[in-house]
Structure 1
Amino acid sequence: MHRKTLLSAAIAGCLAFSAHAQEAQPKATDLDTVTVTGIRGSMEKSLDTKREANARLEVVTAEDIGKLPAHNVADTLQRLPGVNISSSSASEGGFDEADRVSLRGTSPSLTQTLINGHSVGSADWFVLSQGSNVGRSVSYTLLPSELVRSVEVSKSSQAKLQDGGTTGTVNIITRKPLEFAKPITAEASIGAVRADQAEATDPQLSGLFNYKNDDGTFGVMVQAFKQKRHLRREAEELPSGFFQLGRNSDGTINALGQSNPDLVDVWAPSLLGSTLFEQIRDRKGGLVSLQFKPADNLTLGLEGFTSKMQANNYNRNFMLWGGNFANSQAPDAGYTVKDGVLTDAKYAGKAGTDYAVYDMIYREATAKSSYVTLDADWQVNDNLSAKFQAGSTKGTGSTPRQFIAEVTLANGGGASWNTHGIGSPVDWSVGGDITPAGVTSFGTWGNQQVTAEDKEKWFTADFSQYFNDSALSSIDFGARYADHKREALSPEGATPGDIWSALKSGATASYPGGFASGIGGNFPRNLWYFTPSALKDAILANSTWLSNNDGPSGRHNYGGEWKVQEKNFGAYVQANFVGDRWSANVGLRYVNVDQDINTYLAVSDPANIDVSSQFGSWKALSYNNKHSRLLPSANLKFDLADDLVFRFAASQTQTLPDYSALGASSWGSDLSRTGGGGNPRLKPVLSSNFDANLEWYFMPRGLLSVGVFAMNLKDYVGFDTETQMLFSELTNKLEAYKVAMPINVDGKVSGMEVAYEQPIGDNFGVNANYTYVDGKSSFTWANGSNSLQGTSKNTYNVGAYFENDTFGARLSYTYRSSFLIGLQGAVPYYQDDFGTLSASLSYKATDWLSISLDALNLNNPTFKYYQSASIPTAFYENGRQYYINFHVKY
């Protein structure tokens, strides 16, 4: 057959691992003739795939089932050049596990994540990520590494790739039943994880069974996992950042400004918190895959996946309440103002003034993801192959119950603080009675159900027409239709009764010994809190739960609800060429998107009210947007020598705005009088991309590459602020809030990547990479910056490994410089630079038993967040994690 020629095999090989998984696999030609396993084997397979690909590709190959170079797929990917990770999607702060992936210094929403080339519905456990801050990125906490055969990161676009990844696409590839070498394969991993800061040890279990018949015409694979771990984060947190002194809400000079004119417009902390967060993450699920070949030229596949994580969490934040007194009470003489910040201040106690507020928030939360796909891979004839797929996916994030107590304390006790920029936490203290007996008032909010749903149904048809003895080796063409819906719901909740009478005598506990010792600073640490059960019992027993009551006395929070539905049609044609020492592809993709957006506007005029509840009154709004566009792409690969490859790529790519940026109703924080909202008229982000790379494969498993890239982002999303009237739960009426609204702006990203891998002898090896990114926006933030979200100027990874037939060891360090996260209230805030050190050891006891020990966050990094060099917003410490696993296989 002509497709088995060397030329055609090279074409098929470079497309076999494409991010869309659309190519027919070569039947008889293999790129690798030697079977390799372990660390060295996985690196060799990854480099082979990267080298043979026609487009810019980074690859991670699992050594064995459940043996990615980390326990989290996102943690693994951060070691690739140009890849950045973050540990949260909204304002929940820094955790010990990577959760989001982005490429080349951009927002995670601009990077598309697929599984086997198709979409995956995703949702989050954190309540704000379920409603008011919802991007288009995928939560990796729901994707265990045990599922992964390989992960491929496409940095240059091709017409056949599903549209949606402006800066690139991550494709997670699972195993298939007919790929296994033996008729029966059975594997299991039994282990545990030790979280040193949480002082807890939890089980980690996974297993796989695969069967295929002797003819290789039928196979079934079943995978299951159940993984639990405790998490404890200790922190100083400033949840509302800093605010400016000396003015009334209308901008006029207040009494403080008149008596102390040097304090007008000076920044002071609104809240300074001693924060303890604890969570149990219990993830379980599995994957079932079947393959059937009724004929030699036809393979049918059915696959289903589900993952559910129970993520109940308890956050306690004891806070100096600067927003309650600092704008009305003058500090004692001797205070210090530096760079516009009140850095050192002491306040004498004033009777009747509460100097502290204490929030205790226990939430029941879950996140789920699932998909079902049906595939048909048909070799129509020697020259034509076809692949069809129909599928559906769903992600759900739910917070069915929130148990919240907010009490005020330290009445008449006074307060003080001393800031140190972002180098170390703020030193602060409050006087007076801060025990339960010193509580002066009690409040609660948020006993409200919040649910996020992310659904998609799709159908794809992809074809490849092959040619013989021609520079035009093949033409790929096809179409895709998807119906996607993202929705935030808050239909019911509870009206609080006399909770305090039951709670005030409830059981209490204390912050752990040595709390936040790793982050430094002097602030309250020996603190009490109500136990989760005491808080939950008091609220449940003294609240009236109202289900779907839409009247004025109901608890249907329309202001927290919105829906974005998108019907997406795409069609493409891509020509693939090959010549003497070169190959290329040129393609065009047509995309057509029809968006329906439903949201609500807070109103007070009875003539405009459509719905109302205890949360206020709203007018229902509907919008429709239509977007169509042609997206060209081209990739060139040229073998300058047997070991030297040059690549160039140019393309246009598109990503639709974040779901909440389009649909979210305006919302506000009562304490800071700031908030956010959506803009249904936002346009998609269009990026013009250029990429050039030189790769020198100087020895087996050896690589030195240097590349440059540039992206011109049209209609990138920035944020402007405006004053809106929103409903306040504190005053039970509409109040003025400073609301951040998304707007279309432009942006530019350019940079370079350097990667190096080299074996040393038969058993040792080193690897390193460095990425420089310069990202700028045409939009100027409130602090005068024109930074792009997610842009770290410098990212690097260094690692070393040892491996023989029995032992293996790997050490890696990853660093990322500071970057803009988004808005805290209406003010931009950043994450400071950080680095993480990880190590792994493995021992092959027998052919059927291996043991591994992995250590993550060995350097116990402190994650720091800030508004400016003088204004910190958080310091987080998560501790180290140790995983031990016994892996058996048959």
Structure 2
Amino acid sequence: MTRKPILLMGVALMALAGAAPAWAQSDANSGETPQTPSAQSSATEEEILVTGIRASLASAREFKRNSDSILDAIVAEDIGKLPDNNASESLARLPGVQVSRYADEASGILIRGLPDVGTSFNGREIFTAENRTVQVHDFPAGALAALEVYKSATADLIEPGLAGLVNVRSRRPFDFKGLEIAGAIRASYNDQSKKTNPNGNLLISNRWNTPIGEMGALVNVAYNRFYYNNAIRYTNGGVDPVANSKATLPAGEAADFRLPYSVGLYYPRGLRERPSVNGSLQWKPAHNLEIYADGLWQAFRNQGSTESFDVSLLRAAPKNAAGVEVPPTLSNIVRVPGEPNKLVSVSKTGGYPAEMFRSTSRDFTNTYQAAAGFVWNTGRAVISSDFAYTFSEYGANERSLDSQTASAPPVNVIFEKEKSSWFDLGNYDMTNPANYVWRGYYEREYYVSGAGIQWRGDVALDTEIGWLPKIKFGLRATDRDAKRRQGNRYAYTPTLNIPFASLPTGSLEQVQDGFRGDGPPFRNWLMPSYDAIQGNAEALRQLSYASLQKIVAANPNDQGYKDALQQFSTQAIPMDPYGGFYAKESSYAAYASAGYAFDVGIPIDGSVGVRIVNTDGRYVGTSKVTAVDGTVSAVTDTNRQNYVDVLPSFGLRAKLAQGLQARLGFTMTRTRPGFGQLNPAFSLNRNTDAGSGGNASRYAFFGSGGNPDLKPLTSKNYDATIEYYFGRNGAVSGAVFYRDLKGFISNYTRDVNDPVYGLIQISRPENAGTGKIKGFELSAQSFFDFLPGWLSGFGAQANLTYVDAKNQLPAALGTAQPMVSLTGLSKWSYNLSGFYEREKISLRLSYNYRSSYIDFYSRNSNDQQYTGQSVRPISRLDFSGSYTPIENITLTAEVNNILAQPFSNYRYFNETQYYPIDTRYEGRYYSVGVRFRF
């Protein structure tokens, strides 16, 4: 069949075919507006199927152009072909979006400087376990049709977070004309793990005319599998005055400098899998009525291992048989010129032994969502309703085996070489099993879950009034719960001096690092294998129990050892009564909005509306309080919150000329605190390491928990854009934005001098004070169709974002409340992409950059000021290409993280001086595959 007008993968731009998918029409931009069939059966059979980068850019452009909101979107180039391995990686290519990365994948998302991003799937709220949002990177790219980032709200949109809303879009059977079978198979090789990973997706869809109306069915299956292997050199972020320690200095050397508490190596690695299945049924019993049902299961599986080596520079050795505590000796002290309180390098002998562990874990996520609804078009009114049930769970099982050196090895440290510490252990033989002593065994079980129902009803009324063409109103109700249970136990055994090689885990193996080329002088040590630890858990438990019996007999008054003995007396890990919480929360929302349109020499349209939301929640936890005399008491705390938010919104679009339009917007948004953050439980624990030297030994107690007094974050948002659209896929746009926010939540650590407990270090979430975010975005995209011949296949896309964001530190941290840069936010970020697409060839080269940012703030020891830990700028370069030798078969090749630039950060210990912290080396991926479509 010869196809002539343009169909862009069942999305926007069916102008020549006579219809556009409902979700790409301007009337369906709201996250709560129902979807209608994406391709009308009356559409002509004469069309040209356009796929690839051109189609993706054109579809996303039209969606942005016709939206009631200020947004950006990414549309799959073809079925199962977003430009990256997961949804978060793709979002990083949009203006105003920044992501954090760990273990070779993008995870956390910030929009215009804020991490509080609402998430929805096909317009419905979705979440992971006890969280309020879904982990977007859990969506395999092969399962998705589009990603939509709403940067401003409308009244009918599910209330987004402060940052905005990410809507993940899948396909439905009416998106296609009939039988559709499409998919992809791909193999990826990681140059650090040295493993090959299979990935794939398959979509089958069909639609039929039956005596009871038109029906359609679709199922889409996706599977991603990745081995990852990172290598991290680190310097401990605790930067201490040496005067706080018991370290011995050379004669005449003043104790007026600071140095990190320890240095070490850290190797996270594992096998990560993400299976996903989504399906949809659609039925049109009449031309103006559609009934549908959707289902989703997405999962995460991880089999991980983390190897750690840490050697303290300041900690004194445990008391010897004579009861004498032996401090470390520092020598070869080289100070930074002009900065006498900071060191270039140092050597250490004596003190505390080096510590190692291998943590083995198996964790999983299952998220299910089932939904059904209808869309009834009466002519002047569209009436719709949607009901959904969501259940999500996350569980983790961890077993960690710890060791330490039989004696303290010498350490020679250069604090900053290739952006982090560089050290060796002199002539200490770390390949000799006799130099290892068993230090302990740790087990943990963790489980969180959440379930929720949501219902909405909407009416969109065509008024037939020229200046007030449309009115929308609707109701929404949700009911959520969230719960957590966890337990852990630890047997601390170094006092028994048990040879590490004698454990039931068998012979020791050399830990393999993930460094490329030349790494640090010391990088490998001995540990039992992953399987040896996981496969001998019961034997390790029994050994721990027997060992603790001996330790308790020698320390009959130590309650900590008694508690550990009791915990290891059963095969199952006892659940911690203080480690759980339960939350129950309902919300009720009503909205009304009106679309307006008039002409004042130029056409103007837009919408104005208000959304009113009532939140009613109950949050329960159990506090653990350790008295000065060591006795422990438990108190069950319940926190109730009930509040109403009134969220107005206003948007205006002015069509200034052909293809040129401007927008103005004002919205109010808010984000509820997380369920775990609202947990009223608080734990106060005695410091068992007091007096051993170093910063941590200064505290008598440590306190941590949630904060029942947290308030929702609120923000007033002002936006303005200018947009110019040209050609079939060309666009240039600019945006300025301003956010006036209050109550941003972060975890903060502070010191409290209590008259009863003494010096306590407390860590918990706090509402910050007021904050301001301002910035601008620039973006452009086009194929160079005006060039002659093969040159017309070139195209480019670029965007630039600048964000200046500050907020006050919480009042609880002190009276000064200084304004500081918002955590996690880079001031500058940009993306550059070059394309070539012509006939059978499609190529893309994409560069991403984000400038430095603050990781977190905390107080240094003995300081009354807060300083930050900062991350250095990072760049990323990715390539993808495809070749279509025959119709419907495409060969693909990709290289991700070509530059392989290591992640690195550094810790300030005053306003101008810092020590480097981590340098993390991540994998480079090479992929080849094939896509098919019939």
Query: Normalization by structure 2: what TM-score?
Result: 0.83
Instruction: Select the residue among 770, 783, 788 that pairs with 1:759.
Output: 783
1:542-582 CA-partner distances (Å, limit 9, x unpaired): 31699xxx999453223322233321111110111123422
Q: Which residue identity does 1:641 align to in structure 2?
A: A
Q: Judging changes above 3 Å, is the alpha-carbon distance between structure 1 residues 666 and 164 closer, same or farther for their aligned structure 2 residues?
A: farther
Q: Judging changes above 3 Å, is the alpha-carbon distance between structure 1 residues 484 and 9 closer, same or farther for their aligned structure 2 residues?
A: closer
The CA deviation at 1:653 is 0.3
Q: Which residue identity does 2:141 align to in structure 1?
A: S
1-structure distance, mates of 2:63, 2:311:
55
Q: Which residue identity does 2:606 align to in structure 1?
A: A
Alignment correspondent of 1:128: none
Instruction: Select the residue among 70, 83, 92 that pairs with 1:69.
Output: 83
Are residues 1:596 and 2:618 paired?
yes
Alignment correspondent of 2:280: 289
The CA deviation at 1:765 is 0.4
Task: Output aligned runs, 1:705-720, within 5 Å.
Answer: 705-720=733-748
1:263-287 CA-partner distances (Å, limit 9, x unpaired): 35x4322231122221001222311
SS of residue matched to 2:113: coil
Are residues 1:623 and 2:639 paired?
yes
Instruction: Name whichever of 203-212 and 411-420 sits farther off.
Output: 411-420
Q: Which residue identity does 1:18 align to in structure 2?
A: S
Percent of matched pairs sharing the same residue: 23
SS of residue matched to 1:324: coil
1:665-724 CA-partner distances (Å, limit 9, x unpaired): 556898874774321110000100000000112433111111100001111224443457
2-structure distance, mates of 1:360, 1:753:
45
Instruction: Name whichever of 579-588 and 697-706 sits farther off.
Output: 697-706
Q: Judging changes above 3 Å, is the alpha-carbon distance between structure 1 residues 558 and 137 closer, same or farther for their aligned structure 2 residues?
A: same
Q: Judging changes above 3 Å, is the alpha-carbon distance between structure 1 residues 638 and 24 closer, same or farther for their aligned structure 2 residues?
A: farther
1:203-226 CA-partner distances (Å, limit 9, x unpaired): 112211112103672111111122
Alignment correspondent of 1:316: 307
1:609-656 CA-partner distances (Å, limit 9, x unpaired): 9xxxxxx65322111111211100001011000121100000100101
Q: CA RMSD in A?
A: 3.6
Are residues 1:877 and 2:906 paired?
no
Are residues 1:832 and 2:872 paired?
yes
Query: CA contact under 8 A between 1:426 and 1:521: conserved in structure 2?
Result: no
Alignment correspondent of 1:800: 834
Are residues 1:887 and 2:912 paired?
no
1:579-612 CA-partner distances (Å, limit 9, x unpaired): 3422110000001111212223221359999xxx
Are residues 1:775 and 2:805 paired?
yes
Instruction: Select the residue among 90, 96, 100 that pairs with 2:108.
Output: 100
1-structure distance, mates of 2:230, 2:586:
41
1:327-382 CA-partner distances (Å, limit 9, x unpaired): 943522544267475424434533xx334111211111112222111112122x21
Alignment correspondent of 2:147: 151
1-structure distance, mates of 2:161, 2:774:
17
Query: CA contact under 8 A between 1:646 and 1:694: conserved in structure 2?
Result: yes
The CA deviation at 1:537 is 3.6
Alignment correspondent of 1:358: 356
Query: CA contact under 8 A between 1:392 and 1:455: conserved in structure 2?
Result: yes
Q: Judging changes above 3 Å, is the alpha-carbon distance between structure 1 residues 80 and 872 closer, same or farther for their aligned structure 2 residues?
A: same
2-structure distance, mates of 1:664, 1:437:
47
Q: Judging changes above 3 Å, is the alpha-carbon distance between structure 1 residues 565 and 65 closer, same or farther for their aligned structure 2 residues?
A: same
Query: CA contact under 8 A between 1:594 and 1:626: conserved in structure 2?
Result: yes
Are residues 1:813 and 2:847 paired?
yes
Task: Output aligned runs, 1:259-338, within 5 Å.
Answer: 262-264=254-256, 266-325=257-316, 328-332=327-331, 334-336=333-335
1-structure distance, mates of 2:859, 2:439:
22
Task: Output aligned runs, 1:424-503, within 5 Å.
Answer: 424-431=419-426, 432-435=428-431, 437-439=433-435, 441-444=437-440, 446-491=442-487, 502-503=502-503
Task: Output aligned runs, 1:524-673, within 5 Å.
Answer: 524-543=522-541, 553-554=566-567, 555-580=574-599, 581-604=603-626, 617-663=633-679, 665-666=681-682, 673=696
1:380-415 CA-partner distances (Å, limit 9, x unpaired): x21111221111212222113x22122221624322
The CA deviation at 1:746 is 1.7
The CA deviation at 1:517 is 3.4
2-structure distance, mates of 1:72, 1:357:
36
Q: Which residue identity does 1:20 align to in structure 2?
A: E
SS of residue matched to 1:43: helix
Q: Judging changes above 3 Å, is the alpha-carbon distance between structure 1 residues 676 and 878 closer, same or farther for their aligned structure 2 residues?
A: farther
SS of residue matched to 1:660: coil
Gaps of 5+ in 2: 1-14, 318-325, 546-562, 568-573, 690-694, 697-701, 786-791, 861-866
Query: CA contact under 8 A between 1:679 and 1:743: conserved in structure 2?
Result: no
Query: Normalization by structure 1: what TM-score?
Result: 0.87
The CA deviation at 1:850 is 1.2
Instruction: Select the residue among 183, 186, 191 that pairs with 1:191.
Output: 186
Query: CA contact under 8 A between 2:650 and 2:665: conserved in structure 1?
Result: yes
Instruction: Select the residue among 157, 162, 166 that pairs with 2:158.
Output: 162
Query: CA contact under 8 A between 1:166 and 1:685: conserved in structure 2?
Result: yes
1:62-112 CA-partner distances (Å, limit 9, x unpaired): 12111111121111111111011112xxxxxx33211222201122xx111
Q: Judging changes above 3 Å, is the alpha-carbon distance between structure 1 residues 814 and 345 closer, same or farther for their aligned structure 2 residues?
A: closer
The CA deviation at 1:505 is 6.7
Are residues 1:19 and 2:15 paired?
no
The CA deviation at 1:820 is 2.3
Query: CA contact under 8 A between 1:240 and 1:825: conserved in structure 2?
Result: no
Gaps of 5+ in 1: 88-93, 124-133, 249-253, 610-615, 727-732
Task: Output aligned runs, 1:664-683, within 5 Å.
Answer: 665-666=681-682, 673=696, 676-683=704-711
Q: Which residue identity does 1:312 align to in structure 2?
A: Q
Q: Which residue identity does 1:885 align to in structure 2?
A: G
SS of residue matched to 2:886: coil
Q: Which residue identity does 1:54 align to in structure 2?
A: D
Are residues 1:508 and 2:508 paired?
yes
SS of residue matched to 2:706: coil
Q: Judging changes above 3 Å, is the alpha-carbon distance between structure 1 residues 754 and 293 closer, same or farther for their aligned structure 2 residues?
A: same
Q: Judging changes above 3 Å, is the alpha-carbon distance between structure 1 residues 456 and 154 closer, same or farther for their aligned structure 2 residues?
A: same
The CA deviation at 1:256 is 6.0
The CA deviation at 1:441 is 4.1
2-structure distance, mates of 1:738, 1:257:
32
Alignment correspondent of 1:223: 220
Larger RCO, structure (CA 8 Å, separation 6 or more): 1
Q: Judging changes above 3 Å, is the alpha-carbon distance between structure 1 residues 371 and 494 closer, same or farther for their aligned structure 2 residues?
A: farther
Alignment correspondent of 2:548: none
Alignment correspondent of 2:771: 747
Are residues 1:236 and 2:233 paired?
yes
Query: CA contact under 8 A between 1:331 and 1:345: conserved in structure 2?
Result: no
Q: Which residue identity does 1:796 align to in structure 2?
A: Y
Query: CA contact under 8 A between 1:396 and 1:454: conserved in structure 2?
Result: yes
Are residues 1:202 and 2:193 paired?
no
Are residues 1:51 and 2:91 paired?
no
Are residues 1:864 and 2:864 paired?
no
The CA deviation at 1:17 is 3.7
Instruction: Name whichever of 433-442 and 575-584 sits farther off.
Output: 433-442
| Alignment length (residue pairs) | 839
Alignment correspondent of 1:853: 893
1-structure distance, mates of 2:43, 2:823:
43
SS of residue matched to 1:467: strand
The CA deviation at 1:865 is 2.1
SS of residue matched to 2:145: strand
2-structure distance, mates of 1:62, 1:335:
56
Instruction: Select the residue among 200, 208, 211 that pairs with 2:206.
Output: 211
Query: CA contact under 8 A between 2:353 and 2:409: conserved in structure 1?
Result: yes
The CA deviation at 1:749 is 0.5
The CA deviation at 1:176 is 0.7
